[in-house]
């Protein structure tokens, strides 16, 4: 099993991680996308011995969407620097239950609760608490749910799940932070990824859209109508025009740098 590979050259590889696949191997021994892609490179290019592929960032196991991997140590170092400086743009689509504003910014401190085995909001001065900032925009509301775009300023564990649950709008299907039923697929997807190529310094932007399950509630917004004249080869125009406009406006929000959070 392998996710769609959207781009590859001798420095980077961009792929879609399927939901319920690990980002990298753990003690469960279950399949992980890093190992799968290493095997793909080994077979495609007939590489002997171990294959290098650097994990730049992660997605939680139940979350699907875009990931970038480094094919050289130089690329890994430069992409890691972009990540630390908040220069890698990662945006998500999610379906939540509960009310959300049209636009919102959430600033919390998160700490791991060992008893509940999840991240919880704590006071700013609590030992071990880490600042978590995200921006959101509601795209549409249907049947007691809301389709939202989320942009992260920080990359805390389970950040979107914990912060949205804290405002009374947990992700659909999330039985850890909400009221999902075991076996339901959490409605969180990494739909946009932007970074500068580590050697060419070219801004690269990729899009991927979810489907099936609760996403079908918004299927008319997440697909191109058959009679559209929107060029399908333009990756930024993979949504209906009214949704594209909302997301492009959302992109114009100025990112917060780490110095502004201190």
Question: Which residues are marked as active site?
Answer: 60
H or E stretch covering 106? strand 103-113
CA–CA separation, 38 vs 150, rounded Å?
30
Q: How far is CA 53 from the centre of its chain?
A: 20
- How far apart CA 152 and CA 62 sit, in angstroms, is 18
Q: Using an 8 Å Cβ cutoff, are 118 and 60 in contact?
A: no
CA dihedral over 102, 221, 19, 57, signed as positive or negative: negative
Residues in the chain: 262
CB atoms within 10 A of CB 202: 9
**Residue 12 to residue 53: CA distance in whole angstroms:** 9
Helix (H) or strand (E) holding 40: helix 33-44
Q: Is the dihedral of CA 62, 118, 14, 235 positive or negative?
A: positive
């Amino acid at each position: 099993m392998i996710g769609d590979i959207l781009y590859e050259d001798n420095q980077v590889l961009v792929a879609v991680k399927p939901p319920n696949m690990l980002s990298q191997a753990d003690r469960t021994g279950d399949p992980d996308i890093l190992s799968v892609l290493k095997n793909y490179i080994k077979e495609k290019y007939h590489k002997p011995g171990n294959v290098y592929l650097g994990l730049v960032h992660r997605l939680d196991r139940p979350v699907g969407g875009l990931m970038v991997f480094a094919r050289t140590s130089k690329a890994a170092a430069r992409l890691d620097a972009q990540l630390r400086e908040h220069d890698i743009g990662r945006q998500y689509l999610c379906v939540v239950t509960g009310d959300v504003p049209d636009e919102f910014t959430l600033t919390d401190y998160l700490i791991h609760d060992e008893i509940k085995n999840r991240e919880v909001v704590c006071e700013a001065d609590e030992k071990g608490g880490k600042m978590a900032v995200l921006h959101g925009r509601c795209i549409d509301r249907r049947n007691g749910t809301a389709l939202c775009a989320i942009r992260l300023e920080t990359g805390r564990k389970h950040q979107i799940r914990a912060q949205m649950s804290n405002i009374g709008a947990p992700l659909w299907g999330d039985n850890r932070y909400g009221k999902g039923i075991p076996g339901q697929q959490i409605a969180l997807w990494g739909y946009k990824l932007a970074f500068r190529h580590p050697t060419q310094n070219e801004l690269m932007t990729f899009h991927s859209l979810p489907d099936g399950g609760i996403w079908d509630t918004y299927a008319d917004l997440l697909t191109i109508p058959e009679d559209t004249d929107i060029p399908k080869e333009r990756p930024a125009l993979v949504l209906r025009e009214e949704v594209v406009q909302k997301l492009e406006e959302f992109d114009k929000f100025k990112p917060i740098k780490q110095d502004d959070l201190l």
